[in-house]
Structure 1
Amino acid sequence: MSVRNDTPRTLSDMGTVALAVTEGMLHFELSMAYEVFAAAPVGVTVPWYDVEVCGSDAVRVGRFRLEPDHGLDRLGRLRHTDTVIVPGWADVDEEPPAELVGAVRAAHEAGARVASLCTGAFVLAAAGLLDGRRATTHWAHTEVLAARHPLLDVDPDVLYVDNGSVLTSAGKAAAMDLCLHLVRLDHGSFVANAVARRLVVPPHRAGGQAQFVAAPVPTRDDHPLASLFPWAIERLDRPLTVEDLARRAGMSSRTLGRHFRSATGTTPLQWLLTQRIRRAQELLETTDDVVDVIATATGMGTATTLRRHFNRTVGVPPDTYRRTFRSRPGTDPTPTTQVPVT
């Protein structure tokens, strides 16, 4: 039976994050989620998450023995948390424990937002939370998930899927994308990008969902384009061309394109557009500037051009984005730029 709970939630609803653990969980996804949600990045003073580790008993996660919080009713605590994270499930050939499945279902029925990382989707599917919904998991297990749960619309080609109160991610690094996406939903892109910087990871493009786009940049100082990226980002208000970038990098346009593809997976012009959209997102969150001013500041020229590219890339108009992701009190109002991390 499918369980539905798609009531929109506010930032104040998202104060507690519970990591639902049991024997057989994958330690990478568990540790990564804890790193994202356990501590606010330096300079960010918004109310942060309280993280709990909830399980039925002491469990073995990979080579480690983990003692969950709360001596009594450990999995029952999920019903009293705001966001439940279900890490990867190691043995997808086995059904996940009924106790865990029931606790996750009960938490969702009580109003929790539930997210699975990697093969944690098998737990959500067993709980009936994914029936009739689009979902994903690690590419190596999408066929198994689809065969075992035919009511699901399993998409193997995306990094994560957001269904509102139920979210699923693909494997490993995609789980980080989903965790950053949750922070971005709760606190906006400024804070999510600050978390990414603290963890020394780029705020990746959200696979399958174009919102909150930020193309990665090289992390090595000796990369041929290492100095070009910050130079270009500082000049987003100007009509930069491929020839301008190639001249600055001291290489031909063809060579520049090859290095860009290798470093970012995209073309120079698409990378520039991505950075202009990202800058527009930051300005929409952190300033009261009208769309015309933001269009000029991001090199889009006119409000019409900005709206067209923004709506096509992000999926919503700039004004809608501003209302949804307006920067919360306690964040630094000064927009930041994406620079290579070391």
Structure 2
Amino acid sequence: MNGILYGNKIKAAGLIVGLMVALIIMVLSVVLGYTNTSLKQAIEAYTAFNGSNEHLIIQLSRVPRSLVGMAVGISLGIAGVLMQALTRNPIASPDIFGVNAGAGFFIVFGVTFLGISSIQQFMWIGFLGAAVAAGLAYALGSAGQGGLTPVKLTLAGAVMAALFASLTQGMLVTNEKALDEVLFWLAGSVEGRKLSMLATVLPALVIAWFISLLLSRQLNAFALGEDVAISLGQKTVVFKLAAALMVIILAGGSVAIAGPISFIGIVVPHFARYLVGNDHRWIVPYSAIIGGIMLVMADIGARYIIMPEEAPVGVVTALIGTPFFIYIVRKGIFQK
């Protein structure tokens, strides 16, 4: 599909509209929830703070979770684009290929056996887990006759996801303390996250966003085939390593702060391609904006599903993403 937006000016205007929508959604995230607040109260929480319950909720809960949700959604959206382009697999994403599960397993392992508790430690061990899971999935998918194919890589990723998920559950069964600390986090959630937690991972995420944008032109050449990319002078080995490193940073950082949130990385790139076609110079920024909007909207919805309690945002993204995933599989796109 060539997309429904044509011309660079229209696509640029679409980005501006997307940024405005993202800002509106973030404002709604700040004012909506079990405790009703208003835009006026949100502004006064920073300009005329009076210590009221509403002002405390806005400062300590609503604003941080809105910013965390936007940052994680941007990261997962871009990670999905990179993975789908690298593997030429339209259902590639950090959760399908076991990257999120690997990061989650390493973090639970650290909590259970190493006693880690800080977000800084979560971040580094999450990066390591994401890298190990991605490497194992790639190696397993490349084994055997025919080398690496989209179907083999998908199956290898599913195996890695199931393996790490099973190991994680096994550790939690034997350690009630770890279960209490990470159960809600493992479902994927931005509730209760603090700005200090975001500040820890944000520099790495921002760098990965910027580098991913720089790689977008090379993604176009690589999408034509590795042989074509080489003939155009692309150093494909260096490119693939750089793109894979960005996926590890984006997925590992997201899991460290919000847990393994599923389906954002699958769904978002397809929406972006529908809007702007197959030019990754536009797909990457569009996916970033759509990913942020989708995750923050899912978080708003998670507040109302079982009110007065809150559902993990990962549950809502799964409800959104599962029908889309089934649609892709039924069309047989990934078998190309």
Same fold judged by TM-score > 0.5? no
Larger radius of gyration: 1
- Which structure has more relative contact order (CA 8 Å, sep 6+)? It is 2
Structure with the higher strand share, 1 or 2: 1
